[in-house]
Structure 1
């Protein structure tokens, strides 16, 4: 009887030990699967999970995960293909439209300058010329955006004196600001600050943001520029105290073709491309841009660039 009980105990101990080892082995395999899956997702690779096991449940799980990975890879490949096709299509359309539209705009300008035209007809022609110019600007923005996103022209990064760039940009808008009776606030330190960037691109970025502040923030009667720094980065802030941007729209403001609800008001109409282009330009020089806005208090676009010592 004692031997029988000992035999039963040994068998049970063997079963428990086997289950313990099986659990440890499964936990190890599950940990590997989790780590490998994280690596595949993070690096966006085209790998599948491969684990040698006799565990039928793990095999079933791996089959399902690999099926999901393959489906995701196909969706991603289709998305990239569609994105490239769309970019090429927009670029081709923009390019094909630019020349005839330039000719049309030129003829309309010539006709508008003809003094023999009756006043009523002159107004209609001037309106047509204005709309043709708007369309030409929109097409140019589409063309610029596709060129930036395609990466055809990589920005050359260099040492840039941000004090000088900021001063030149604000000076370029001085007449417009004073004509609109807008107060100007400029906070630029005496010591020159240098960052990694591209002067031409940075000038375009600041011009876009200052124009945007004048167009949408003039109700606040003040436009400002701050240049500040910390140990690692330099920050350029373009701000105004106008109507601002509602919190629900702030995350979408840099999306392509996104326009604010106020775009129904002619005063605030835009193409929905200006800030998208600005964001892409900032990213092309390894910078970041963010928005904070409290309507009629302060709306600020902040550009962050890597700092360089003089």
Structure 2
């Protein structure tokens, strides 16, 4: 009886030893495969055949980690490319007005026979170009601040109806000077939403400025305020040249300019950052922004926020 018990114990110990040896070998093989994948910087998926449930659980966790690492790597590369493109665009946008400013200053310095009136005209042009440079730099740093999460945006109850009226009045002179009519569909009563008044004003001003700049061919600029369930939708629209289907998702990227952004329009103090800043401000208020466009029919930018 004792000899049988001893044989059973020895058999179990041998099975345990074989199992442990196999698991150790499998773990080393998994570690080797993982190191090779990381060394070659191609962490796709780790495949390893095993009946060990513990190792299967470990492999699932490793593959989840590899997938997360892959997404992070792709996101990092995309951000790097976007940053390089943005810096290239900014350097180009700064170089043009700076070159003009230097040219105007040299004209004043090297032309002693210039009249006082002529000097004043050139100084006004210099002042305008310097304002353009300051605007671009300020917007760039504002976008960097928004993306780095350094900007605190306290949310409170805001009267959307009143802010819409106030901002359309702010642009009334610009619309009138371009022969544009205003088509307003605003509620007679106050409509409240959760947001930040300063950020909301900035968003509307960016959208109205773009609508006037790009939609002047359509002779009308519109604004509508709609309540849809738990949300408030603010629409700014025009009937101008519009934006092609392929470009509609790209317009919210940093410094993106559409193919329709003609050279003579780029002198109108457009930085290509307005919609990108607007998108991030809307998202910080817990909302979303979208664009729909049918050229020469209607281009609508909708800001959706939570209703109170």
**TM-score over 0.5 for the alignment?**
yes
Distance 1:301-1:259 versus aligned 2 partners, 3 A rule: same
Distance 1:285-1:124 versus aligned 2 partners, 3 A rule: same
Counterpart in the other structure of 2:69? 73
Q: Does 1:238 align with 2:236?
A: yes
Q: CA deviation at 1:116?
A: 4.0
Counterpart in the other structure of 1:27? none
What SS class does the counterpart of residue 236 from structure 1 fall into?
strand
Residues 240 and 298 of structure 1 are in contact (CA less than 8 Å); yes or no, is this contact kept in structure 2? yes
Structure 2 matches for 1:56-135, cutoff 5 A? 66=62, 69-70=65-66, 72-73=68-69, 76=72, 116-117=115-116, 119=118, 125-135=123-133
What SS class does the counterpart of residue 272 from structure 2 fall into?
coil
Residues 237 and 300 of structure 2 are in contact (CA less than 8 Å); yes or no, is this contact kept in structure 1? yes
Distance 1:184-1:78 versus aligned 2 partners, 3 A rule: closer
What SS class does the counterpart of residue 255 from structure 2 fall into?
coil
Counterpart in the other structure of 2:277? 277
Counterpart in the other structure of 1:6? none
Distance 1:215-1:79 versus aligned 2 partners, 3 A rule: same
Quote the Cα distance in structure 2 between the aligned partners of 1:200 and 1:82: 31
Structure 1: gaps (5+ residues): 1-47
What SS class does the counterpart of residue 202 from structure 2 fall into?
helix
Counterpart in the other structure of 2:305? 305
1:40-83 deviation per Cα after TM superposition (whole angstroms, max 9, x unaligned): xxxxxxxx99x9x9428x96997598368447527726955996
- Find 2:152's aligned residue among 133, 151, 154: 154
Counterpart in the other structure of 2:40? none
Structure 2: gaps (5+ residues): 1-44, 109-113
Distance 1:80-1:249 versus aligned 2 partners, 3 A rule: closer
Residues 222 and 237 of structure 2 are in contact (CA less than 8 Å); yes or no, is this contact kept in structure 1? yes
Q: CA deviation at 1:264?
A: 4.5
Counterpart in the other structure of 1:247? 245
Structure 2 matches for 1:173-252, cutoff 5 A? 173-252=171-250
- Find 1:55's aligned residue among 51, 54, 66: 51
Aligned residues: 242
Q: CA deviation at 1:138?
A: 1.1
Structure 2 matches for 1:138-153, cutoff 5 A? 138-153=136-151
1:177-203 deviation per Cα after TM superposition (whole angstroms, max 9, x unaligned): 112221111111112211111111101
- Normalising by structure 2, report the TM-score: 0.66
- Normalising by structure 1, report the TM-score: 0.66
